Structure 1
Amino acid sequence: MIATITLIPAPVDTEGDDRYVWRHGEDKYKPCFSSVKTWEQIRMQHPTVAWSKIVWFPHAIPRFSFITWLTLKDRLSTGARSRAWGCIQACLLCGEPDETRDHLFFACPYYFTVWIDLVGYLLGSHVNPNWSITIASLLSSRRKEIDTCLLKLTFQTTIYSLWRERNSRRHQGHPQSAAHMVRIINKLIKNRISSLRHRRPSFYSDMMQCWMGHTT
């Protein structure tokens, strides 16, 4: 430490008073603080994953995005994860003894019934209960912007709502039918589109018409 200190030149009065500067990058300093630049320097950098576009996009609802991120990372407290703690949990919706992420989304008959009812008109024959196939289908770039936005928004809303229903049943809540869950998710999506209409009135009006055309 002493050797390092001695290498620093002593202050010189002719250079003016000392001042604070904030690091914005490699050998780049500015008098203003930037939380973005600071975060980029202290965080652990990782390659961008392909599914990030499904989680983080302008139309998403933050709490839905967070649960979707946990799902894609396979970090939800499913029965498969709780088994490591000595707690055996079967799927409460269909009785499957191995409650995994891939089973819930969307191999479980209850979950798949809700999912296909919501996105069947958008995905058509590509609706599949397999998790990997579903993610690959959502990442396809061969769709219109409105269809892509609706699919990602529906995906997140469905995951959030169905996971909430699963937890409600786990804690002795009143079970909801698949048809009722579809109505709940439908309302959440319409409310989200309405809240975004001020950004691009024409675009979100078309999105609402597209969604309403299906639900009607």
Structure 2
Amino acid sequence: MITRINSVPPPVEEAGSDCLLWRHRENDYKAWFSSKNTWNQIRRQGDTVEWSKLIWFSHTVPRDSFIAWLAIRNRLSTGDHTQIWGEHQSCRLCGEPNESRDHLFFVCPYSYTIWTELTSSLLPRPNPDWGITVTMLLSPRRSNTDSCLLRLSFQAVIHSVWRERNSRKHTGVYRTAQQLTRFIDKTIRNRSSLRYKSAEKCSALMIRWMGRNE
């Protein structure tokens, strides 16, 4: 340690004052702090997955994207998971005895009705299969406007259906598929009406969503 200390040249007046620099990347130091760059340096990063495009994007609603992230990783406490805790859960929406992520989204007639009502004009031939739905939503063969609205719809339906399922389980309060569809439709209208960096893009989202069933 003494040898290491002695190897460091002593400070001299000509060198100027010491200054604090924050490390942003390898061999990149700046005078200002970045929580994003600091987090990226200390965390363990995995490979980027293709489905991340469905979860993280500029127009997303945080609460919706979080539940959609849990769903796409199959981490929701559905019946097939709670069975290992000794708790059996059937589908609160349609009565199916074996509740699972793939059943809720969108084999369940309740959630499939909502999904098709909202997206049938944006997503030709909606499929109830989870894997096929995710693959279709990731397809580049549609406009950026339609892709954004489909991702918003995907997340909003997952969050709202999951919330409805929990409401029925814990409070006994029910909403029909038509009521939930109207609620989600209003949510997406409100989201697409917000002003982002590009007013033109915002207008395109609103116009496309409002006119999708014409």
What TM-score do the two structures reach when normalised by structure 1?
0.90
Shift of 1:42: 0.6
Unaligned stretches of 5+ in structure 2? none
Cα RMSD for the two superposed structures: 2.0
Count the aligned residue pairs. Answer: 213
Match of residue 79 from structure 1: 79
Match of residue 144 from structure 1: 143
**DSSP 3-state at the match of 2:211:** helix
- Give the aligned residue type for 2:207: Q
Match of residue 185 from structure 1: 184
- State the alpha-carbon separation in 2 of the partners of residues 171 and 7 from structure 1: 68
Q: How does 1:21-100 map to 2 (within 5 A)?
A: 21-100=21-100
Assess if the C-alpha contact under 8 Å between 2:122 and 2:212 holds in 1. Answer: no
Assess if the C-alpha contact under 8 Å between 2:22 and 2:29 holds in 1. Answer: yes
Shift of 1:155: 0.7
Deviations 1:5-32 (A, max 9, x none): 5475263344454433222222332332
**DSSP 3-state at the match of 2:23:** strand
- Give the aligned residue type for 1:162: V
Match of residue 208 from structure 1: 206
- State the alpha-carbon separation in 2 of the partners of residues 136 and 168 from structure 1: 30
Shift of 1:4: 8.0
- State the alpha-carbon separation in 1 of the partners of residues 120 and 3 from structure 2: 66
- State the alpha-carbon separation in 2 of the partners of residues 104 and 4 from structure 1: 66
- State the alpha-carbon separation in 2 of the partners of residues 207 and 161 from structure 1: 21
| Cα distance change of structure 1 residues 86 and 7 upon mapping to structure 2, 3 Å threshold | farther
| Cα distance change of structure 1 residues 10 and 202 upon mapping to structure 2, 3 Å threshold | closer
Assess if the C-alpha contact under 8 Å between 2:121 and 2:213 holds in 1. Answer: no
Is the deviation greater in 138-147 or in 7-16? 7-16
| Cα distance change of structure 1 residues 8 and 90 upon mapping to structure 2, 3 Å threshold | farther
| Cα distance change of structure 1 residues 108 and 144 upon mapping to structure 2, 3 Å threshold | same
- State the alpha-carbon separation in 2 of the partners of residues 66 and 202 from structure 1: 28
Structure (1/2) with the larger helix percentage: 1
Assess if the C-alpha contact under 8 Å between 2:194 and 2:202 holds in 1. Answer: no
| Cα distance change of structure 1 residues 170 and 17 upon mapping to structure 2, 3 Å threshold | same
Shift of 1:95: 1.6
1:124 aligns with 2:124: yes
- Give the aligned residue type for 2:37: K
| Cα distance change of structure 1 residues 4 and 134 upon mapping to structure 2, 3 Å threshold | farther
Unaligned stretches of 5+ in structure 1? none
- Give the aligned residue type for 2:172: G
| Cα distance change of structure 1 residues 26 and 204 upon mapping to structure 2, 3 Å threshold | closer
- Give the aligned residue type for 1:33: F
| Cα distance change of structure 1 residues 135 and 4 upon mapping to structure 2, 3 Å threshold | farther
Deviations 1:142-181 (A, max 9, x none): 1012111111111111111111101100102311111111
Q: How does 1:157-168 map to 2 (within 5 A)?
A: 157-168=156-167
What TM-score do the two structures reach when normalised by structure 2?
0.91
- State the alpha-carbon separation in 2 of the partners of residues 93 and 165 from structure 1: 8
